[in-house]
Amino acid sequence: MTQDHLAASSPLPEHARLAAFAGEWNGEEMVFPSRWTAGGPATSRTVARMDLNGFYLIQDSVQIRDGKQIFATHGIFTYDRDDRTYKLFWYDSLGYTPPSPASGGWVGKTLTLVRGSLRGNARHVYEIIDDNSYSLKIQFSPDAEGWADVLTGVYRRIH
């Protein structure tokens, strides 16, 4: 009997694990000096939801510095059942289109995702602190070996 390839599949437990980041969050961030910005403290507001039948976490963030919105991001997280890795499709207000998603996985309570481009490599490290907080570290490397912090932050759930 032929299998119906259009039949809907169900999300896996790996997809559901992303729900730890769903909700509304306030963040306290440190932006490090880079070729994109002078650096300094910032705050952020993140809204994230599980969507599209539970296969994706869709996350929107706005960063505020000196009372002004200076940066915004749109992230789409999923689990790729074919290559058994997590993926992050990341878009931001700098306007660069990533050639491919960041890819990676969990070790304990830490999700690490890495992507490369002609500009260099980015690493996103999300660590669950508890049910109501997580940390994020975004790092840059020209060669994917020596990593420099671009942003660190701690995010607390808004109830």
Q: Is residue 88 domain-resident?
A: yes
Domain with 105, as residue range(s), is 13-157
Residue 21 located in a structural domain: yes
Question: Over 50: is that where the pLDDT of 1 sits?
Answer: no
Cα–Cα distances (Å) from 16 to 21, 24, 59, in that order, read 10, 17, 15
Note whether residue 8 is domain-resident: no
**How many domains does one find in the chain?**
1
| Structural domain includes residue 64 | yes
Q: What is the CATH number of the domain that holds 120?
A: 2.40.128.20
pLDDT digit string, tens, across residues 32-67 = 997 777 889 999 999 999 999 999 999 999 999 989
Please name the amino acid found at residue 103: S
Flag whether 1 is in a domain.
no
**Quick check: 7 pLDDT over 80?**
no
* pTM for this model (two decimals): 0.90
102, part of any domain: yes
Please report whether residue 4 resides in a domain. Answer: no
Q: Identify whether 128 is part of a domain.
A: yes
Does an H or E element contain 95, and which? none
CA angle 129, 125, 67 (to 5 degrees): 80
